[in-house]
Amino acid sequence: MDYLKYYDLEKHLFDFVRERFVRDGVIDPFDFYLILIWKSNRSKNKGRDRLANAAGDFSKAVKKIADSIYQADDPKEKLKILLSDPWKFSLAIGSAILTVLYPLDFTVCDTRVCEQLHKMMQSPPFPKGLSASTAGYELQWKQYQLFKKAVVDNTPANLCLRNKDRYLFGKSLYEQARKDSATPAETCTRP
């Protein structure tokens, strides 16, 4: 077993998992779990357990999800499958799954990226916490399309969609680390 491939999880997901899905329409449950880890490590087990409850077990859920997404005709339908019953993923997780599988059509609707766009734009056409799970799907899709357009329009033109997402995430991380590293830490004094 070559464990080095798991060190760069994103490379494994976008090279191996995506290619196999495009070729065969299959996602291994282990690889789907790795997508959950990649997007939100802290809530991976909650997501796994929710899927297992919805389909009887995690493997069955992953197979149903992969089959449905693979057979769906367009991006709007693919996202709807993940956000609707029985899966009920958040927009952040649903868009992350689809970004792995279709990086030319989807970008991750990440909190950092949303906040970065809100700082950069005069009047962003989507809400800051773009996760409106209580909103109807049509509104979610419209907001996601506006978010995606903002990602494209507010990053260097020479970057592919996936790198535009990375660029904004990296900018957010850089700015936060710059700010936090300049803030003096509390010091502990011994009595």
Q: In the chain, where are the structural domains located? A: 1-77, 107-175
Contact 95, 79 (CB under 8 A): yes
Taken as a whole, the chain contains a residue count of: 191
CA distance 170 to 176: 10
Residues 6 or more apart from 128 whose CB is under 8 A from it? 114, 115, 118
156: left (phi over 0), alpha (psi -120 to 50) or beta: beta
Q: How far apart are CA 139 and CA 70, in angstroms?
A: 24
pLDDT digits (tens, 9 = 90+) for 19-53: 999 999 999 999 999 999 999 888 899 999 999 99
Residue 183, classed as helix, strand or coil, is coil
Cβ neighbors of 154 (< 8 A, separation 6 or more) are 117, 120, 121, 168
pTM above 0.95, yes or no: no
Q: What is the mean pLDDT of the chain?
A: 91
**87 vs 186, residue with greater confidence:** 87
- pLDDT over 80 at 157, yes or no: yes
Three-class DSSP category at 124: coil
User: Does the structure show a pLDDT above 90 at 136?
Assistant: no
Under 8 Å between Cβ of 180 and 167 = no
pLDDT at 40: 87
* Whole-angstrom distance, CA of residue 69 vs CA of residue 66: 5
Whether pLDDT at 189 is above 90? no
CB atoms < 10 A from the CB of 141, how many? 18
